[in-house]
Amino acid sequence: MNERSKRPTGRPWDDERLAEAYSVLAARPAPADLTDATLAATEKAHRSGRGGRGFAWPTLRWPRAALAGSAIGLVAVAILVAGLALRSTPASSPAIGGLPKTVDGLTVETVSQALAAEASGSPQGDGLIAVEGWLNPMPLPGCPYESPHPALEDSCTSRKLLLTETRQELVIIETTSDSTTISANAPAAPYLYARELAGVSIDSLPGGDDTKPNTYRPLQAVLVGHFHDARAAECGADQRASCDSAFVADQLAWLDGRSLGPNVWIGGDSTGAVLKPRLTTDGVVAALRPSLDPADAVVSMAVVTLGDITTLTGKGLQASGNGADLLWYVRVAGPSPRFPPMAWGAGDSGWMVLDDASGRLRGAGGWGFVSVATGSFPPSPRPSLSGGLFALPTTDWLAGGACAGVGLEAVLHGSPNDPRVAWLEDKLGGQSRTEVTWPAGYRARFSPNIEVLDENGNVVLREGDAVGGACGFDLDTGMAYLEPPFK
């Protein structure tokens, strides 16, 4: 009977149907002789010496292992990729010929130039740079089990992008009648061993399919990425330095003669649910455009929940609000944004966060600035809330970087008759009142002096308490945006 003639139509391929199909597809026990054949093959391997079976650890070659053919003629190869340092010492620069001189408004640098710049502290912070070279698809290694580890820590399983300054065939496939060996030479030229992270995973990478010819052919490419990723702080002490100096790829901007657009990543939330943003990528760009400088270019876009955003930004970011809110985390190259009117630094790249539901800007950072300010706030408090609580001017802005230390030497004051309820005064009495905006959910009460409560109802500040720092100031109004900790 023709199975296809009986195929159901119109029924959606939901989880139930898919699970049933998988169950039927795989509902067969192993062939009766397979266990014995396997044990025989294992015994053969055992006789050849366990632990040293074909492994070689040459100085200039990556470890390789070619397995003996099995009883049914299987030829398999295991690769272990290990032992490469993150970066090599800068050396001579090749000619750029054929490559764009700029991508995303960034000057394209050679690997050597990028390494030298990083060593000299440029670009500032985690600013974006564009680096050209030869992208070398690498075989996927066979890795032993690893416990979960910080995103930036080097590990066998983390995918890395090897960008060499000059073209070099690094992967060597040797096939004989009964075995195949894949080995990989260490690069002879300067190289970047770029990290690819969850949240900015690059789908457009070539390679990974041994059934196709030229799988491991080096391709000329331009990567846009950054050093000094904030997530380096999460690495263990022994790896923190290498994490900090690792090049993290945000975008594969150009590959083998083709310009590629912004890297877009839409994942799932922490419960496994698929994220379904309302906005399209074009919609996000359109929503951001009024805030951006005309010369700005979007490098990457990732959809993430507010609760998960620190997986992209590192834990320094303060996020208040509904953890299920969908956000677009967008990395931008170019001049600092027009809005918010902050005292941006000298950096030429940064990030912005857009609320998917409202299409409203909720945060920004980078551009040489250590913190962010609010995008919107009410000019005065709302009427008193029930239970004797007073509304405070609040913002759901996401504060990036270190919020403390902007430079306050102030104390808290408040009055139920004041339109903004609470304010700061210079501790030394040399400056008058400073207006403040609070995190989302903050309220105040008077008993009889002011007490500021956080979103959970905990008293976090009282009348006369010292406030040692703010996240930033609005340049036009001088208003301070406060984020905990306040002292």
Partner 1 sequence: MSRSNVNLRRSSGIELGEGANSALPGERIAGREMVNQALAGRSLVDLARSGDAAAFESLVRSRMDAMYRLGLAILGDEADAADAAQETFVAAWRELPRLRDLDRFDAWLQRVAVNSCRMVLRARGRRRIREIPMAELDSAQERVLGMGASGRADAELLRAAIRHLSLDQRAILALHHLDGRPVAEVAEILGIPVGTAKSRLFKARTELEKALREEERR
Cβ distance 143 to 115 under 8 Å? Answer: no
Q: Tell me, what amino acid is at 340?
A: P
Closer Cβ to partner 1, 148 or 448, answer by number = 148
Strand spans (E) along 334-379? 349-355, 361-366
Closer Cβ to partner 1, 197 or 436, answer by number = 197
Q: Answer whether the bond into residue 206 is a cis peptide, omega within 30°.
A: no
Least distance to partner 1, CB of residue 261, Å:
17
Least distance to partner 1, CB of residue 300, Å:
14
**Region 181-210 residues binding partner 1, contact defined as CB under 8 A:** 198-199, 201, 203, 208-210
Q: Which of 19, 172, 286, 295 binds partner 1 (CB under 8 A)?
A: 19
> Please, which residues have CB within 8 angstroms of residue 442's CB and are 6 or more apart in sequence?
392, 394, 452, 453, 454, 455, 460
73 binds partner 1 (CB under 8 A): yes
Q: Which of 41, 117, 255, 389 binds partner 1 (CB under 8 A)?
A: 41
Closer Cβ to partner 1, 196 or 348, answer by number = 196
Size of the site for partner 1 (CB under 8 A): 81
350: its two tokens: 């940064």
Q: Answer whether the bond into residue 123 is a cis peptide, omega within 30°.
A: yes
23 binds partner 1 (CB under 8 A): yes
Q: Which of 34, 56, 91, 475 binds partner 1 (CB under 8 A)?
A: 34
Q: Answer whether the bond into residue 448 is a cis peptide, omega within 30°.
A: yes
Least distance to partner 1, CB of residue 477, Å:
38
- The pairing of strands 128-136 and 160-164 is antiparallel
47 binds partner 1 (CB under 8 A): no
Q: Which of 266, 389, 402, 440 binds partner 1 (CB under 8 A)?
A: 266
Binding track, positions 125-154, relative to partner 1; x by CB under 8 A: ---------------x-xxxxxxx--x---
26 binds partner 1 (CB under 8 A): yes
H or E stretch including 255? strand 248-255
257 binds partner 1 (CB under 8 A): no
101 binds partner 1 (CB under 8 A): no
Task: Give me the torsion for CA of 156, 119, 348, 350, rounded to 10°.
Answer: 30
Residue ranges of alpha helices (H) inside 238-307 are: 240-244, 281-288
